[in-house]
Amino acid sequence: MTDAPSLAGHFLIAMPSMPDPRFARAVIFLCAHTAEGAMGLVINRLFEPLDFAELMSQLDIEVDASSQDVRVHFGGPVEAGRGFVLHSADYSSDGTMAISPDISLTATVDILKALAEGTGPKRCFLALGYAGWAPGQLDAELQANGWLHAPGDADLLFSPEIEKKWETILGRMGINPAMLSSEAGRA
């Protein structure tokens, strides 16, 4: 990233021509975007082999019945064993980082314990792994027409209808996916 503004707190929407199958039709919430690189979480894929109760069992954390609606998502291919929780700003601990006025990120075991006990944030998104970019890499991918971006929205981020997020955000942008081109133009 050079002089471009940070896209932290924004969605990245994969173009239909995305060459990396791990990101085909992906929607990513960007948590950080600086000169040192970028980091985000895929918000429209479940982590299929694992549910919340199984994850907590692996961590020796007892699960309260009220936490049964927490789902485990595939956050990206980097460090797939590491957990991240995007959540409403009503929860904060030593490891919490505010991304926007209404969305924060916590990656400590404390938030997992709070979720398991039913005392965590009102809204949350739990992901294993993340998507990461080296310095300048995301900006180059944006210039090469690999991604669209749009301001983040807590309602879409926390929506349980994960399979519809890609189409929903494109629709909000007034874009018909069938009309997207893989060619980048220069004026």
CATH code, domain carrying 24: 3.40.1740.10
Instruction: Render pLDDT for 69-86 as a digit per residue (tens, 0 to 9).
Output: 789 999 999 998 899 999
Are the beta carbons of 7 and 40 closer than 8 angstroms?
no
Nearest to 121 by CA among 129, 108, 112, 130: 112
Parent domain of 89:
10-178
The total number of structural domains in the chain stands at 1
Q: Does 185 fall in a domain?
A: no
Q: Does 17 fall in a domain?
A: yes
Q: Does 133 fall in a domain?
A: yes
Instruction: Render pLDDT for 28-87 as a digit per residue (tens, 0 to 9).
Output: 999 999 999 999 999 999 998 788 888 988 888 888 876 667 899 999 999 988 999 999
Residue 42 pairs in a beta bridge with 28
Q: Does 2 fall in a domain?
A: no
Q: Please report how many Cα atoms fall inside a 13 Å half-sphere around the Cα of residue 184, on the Cβ side.
A: 13
Q: Does 173 fall in a domain?
A: yes
Q: Does 55 fall in a domain?
A: yes
Q: What is the reported pTM?
A: 0.90
Helices (H) and strands (E) in the chain, counts: 5, 9
Q: Does 1 fall in a domain?
A: no
Taking the C-alpha atoms of residue 127 and residue 41, their distance in angstroms, rounded to an integer, is 7
Residue 13 pairs in a beta bridge with 27, 148
Q: Does 186 fall in a domain?
A: no
